[in-house]
Chains A and B, each alone.
Chain A
Amino acid sequence: MTTYYSEEHEWISIEGETGTIGITEYAQNALGDIVFIEVPEVGNNYDKGDEIAVVESVKAASEIYTPVGGEVIAINESLESDPALVNAHPETDGWFYKISISDKDELDELMNAAAYKAYIDGLE
């Protein structure tokens, strides 16, 4: 299972044709206590870069842009009642949605773990 990262601080882990997407530890830390998450509907199609979800924290509301295009095949239903999951486990239990990737070439534009770490170090 390979994980990629976007400059907007989303992660996507790949299993076959399916990508699981969430926000990174860096993103949850920057957002602060998350109070509400709007996830997409299963069955909807999105292009890479489309606004797909919204995260509201005590500090700000932020849009989530999907790092790859495709059809949403599952959402994390726990987030509705327990948005704090994203603060506690952003890169595991706090996943947002699963997408059936339409074009795996889009992954090439994302970063691997080492490149993402260097990227956020540069932001400090």
Chain B
Amino acid sequence: MMNKQGRPTDINTAASLSPESFTTHTGNRGLEQDELLIYEIGDTQRTGVDLEDLPVFESRLCGITRDNEIGLAGLSEPEALRHYTRLSRKNYAIDMGLYPLGSCTMKHNPRINEKVARLPGLADIHPLQPISTVQGALELMDRLAHWLKTLTGMPAVAMSPKAGAHGELCGLMAIRAALDKRGENRTIVLAPESAHGTNPATAALCGYKVKSIPANKAGRVDLRALKDALGPDVAAIMLTNPNTCGLFERDIIDIADAVHAAGGYFYCDGANFNAIVGKVRPGDLGVDAMHINLHKTFSTPHGGGGPGAGPVVLSEALAPFAPVPYVVHGEDGFALVEHVTGGGDSFGRMTAFHGQMGMNIRALAFMMSHGSDGLARVAEDSVLNANYVMASLQDIMTLSFEGPCMHECLFDDRFLEGTGVTTLDFAKAMIDEGYHPMTMYFPLVVHGAMLIEPTESESKQSVDQFIGALRHLVAQAKSGNSALFTGAPYLAPLKRLDETLAARNPVLRWRKED
């Protein structure tokens, strides 16, 4: 067999032969190697380090020394290295291919970001170093803060929140502090049905009762229902724009005005800011607080690849309540305000230090390497790619809401009706085609959701291949080849896992066999 370019580089010929003829002694299948747990590989007789024998010494542990073996497995350096390299080869990563996980924005992590983040002057510093020795790092945070404020049109930013949901908490704590200062005890936070699950969770954590706002037929907030829900009890609305259906909330200014008129605050979930960066300033839309997922919009690694970061921009009304610490321009250069001084309105401190420095560096590198025109192109190209996917699939898959969409497009499972294939099966078959599945079963407002976000990282060739794979799968499902789906994945290192059994009887601990 030849590959698509006519070269004899056939993938997985063995799969077409009977498995029995390829039973191997090791359990490996060529480069696809079987992997044991690290405890099953190592033993206590081996080690990767050569420690000097301890001289005779007097223990000062007063009888609390351990008297049994810990039994931790020892491995030589090559064994440990191979274990993790083999595991990584079973994984799917943005560095291997298109990663269409909607709402997660799995865009390319430019290597210039990594290079800058590893500069010793940034990588080797410590938060407890004297301020005079880290002026460059503080300047970097200050400059990033400046650009975040500029891009959002907001007067203040809290840099310390460490992820999107942490940013939501920061925003709602600022709102609660502002309401406390006004002497008002508002108890309700409104969130649309399609909200990220973290929105109601954040509101509940802050002691608010969550009231859900239904969507209209166009997949957007029902303005009338929202206005009916507003009142003197409502502290805030939490709204994502573009929303989780990948649609721009066209009524956003009316929504902001209505919330403000009722005395509430407008929290915008900025998870999808990547679709509008450089094009729309949330400050112009009436937003009071919004977190920015640096790891989505500004490409810092996430999803197992690294921590996130969720700085929160704040309006004039909420700025006084921002948490410490924050960077200020002092007489002797930059300084950090670490404490709430007498009479200050700051709601306090959320983190030990000033935030996720490594992510700050990468985000600023992304901004500066793109420039303001480049950032606008990020939004344009991510929206273009998603609309291209939508337009190329909507004749055979069922689009949930009429386009155009923003950075992601939402399909539901109506096109699979009668095929015996579910959204889950369809997603598993995508693994056999060499793709990470799209987001499935979210948002909950449509049945069997499939949310696809190609991001701006993909070329037309790459998106075309993805579309081709999906069109092929849809055709197979509709032609009655349900076995291709219900048993998928067939070609992955591990086949269909029993998620139900795993959830009902999780085995979380390895025990040595006696």
Write the residues of chain A forming the contact surface with B, with a CB cutoff of 8 angstroms.
Answer: 33, 35-36, 56, 58-60, 83-84
- Complex CA distance for A89 and B503, rounded to whole angstroms: 20
B503 touches A58 (CB 8 A): yes
Q: Which residues of B contact A36 (CB under 8 A)?
A: 503-504
- Complex CA distance for A59 and B444, rounded to whole angstroms: 10
B39 within 8 A of A: no
Q: Which residues of A contact B444 (CB under 8 A)?
A: 60
B326–chain A nearest beta-carbon distance, Å: 36
- Complex CA distance for A86 and B500, rounded to whole angstroms: 14
> Mostly helix, strand, loop or mixed at chain B's interface?
helix
B476-514, CB under 8 A of A: which get 1 and which 0? Answer: 000000000000000000000001100110000000000
| Chain B, residue nearest A61 (CB) | B197
- Complex CA distance for A60 and B500, rounded to whole angstroms: 12
Q: Which residues of A contact B347 (CB under 8 A)?
A: none
A116–chain B nearest beta-carbon distance, Å: 20
B441 within 8 A of A: yes
- Complex CA distance for A62 and B235, rounded to whole angstroms: 25
A83 touches B441 (CB 8 A): no
* Most chain B CB inside 10 Å of its own CB: which residue of A33, A36, A83: A33
> Mostly helix, strand, loop or mixed at chain A's interface?
loop
Q: Which residues of A contact B500 (CB under 8 A)?
A: 33, 35, 58
Interface size on B, residues (CB 8 A): 6
- Complex CA distance for A63 and B444, rounded to whole angstroms: 14
- Complex CA distance for A36 and B500, rounded to whole angstroms: 10
Residue pairs across A and B with Cβ atoms less than 8 A apart, 17 shown, are A33-B499, A33-B500, A33-B503, A35-B500, A35-B503, A35-B504, A36-B503, A36-B504, A56-B503, A58-B499, A58-B500, A58-B503, A59-B441, A60-B441, A60-B444, A83-B504, A84-B504
- Complex CA distance for A35 and B499, rounded to whole angstroms: 9
Q: Which residues from 191 to 224 on chain B have a C-beta closer than 8 Å to any C-beta of chain A?
A: none
- Complex CA distance for A83 and B499, rounded to whole angstroms: 14
Q: Which residues of B contact A60 (CB under 8 A)?
A: 441, 444
B447–chain A nearest beta-carbon distance, Å: 9
| Chain A, residue nearest B503 (CB) | A35
Q: Which residues of A contact B441 (CB under 8 A)?
A: 59-60
- Complex CA distance for A96 and B510, rounded to whole angstroms: 34
Q: Which residues of B contact A33 (CB under 8 A)?
A: 499-500, 503
- Complex CA distance for A36 and B505, rounded to whole angstroms: 10
- Complex CA distance for A55 and B254, rounded to whole angstroms: 36
| Chain B, residue nearest A84 (CB) | B504
- Complex CA distance for A84 and B505, rounded to whole angstroms: 12
- Complex CA distance for A58 and B503, rounded to whole angstroms: 8
B492–chain A nearest beta-carbon distance, Å: 19
- Complex CA distance for A39 and B457, rounded to whole angstroms: 46
A7–chain B nearest beta-carbon distance, Å: 13
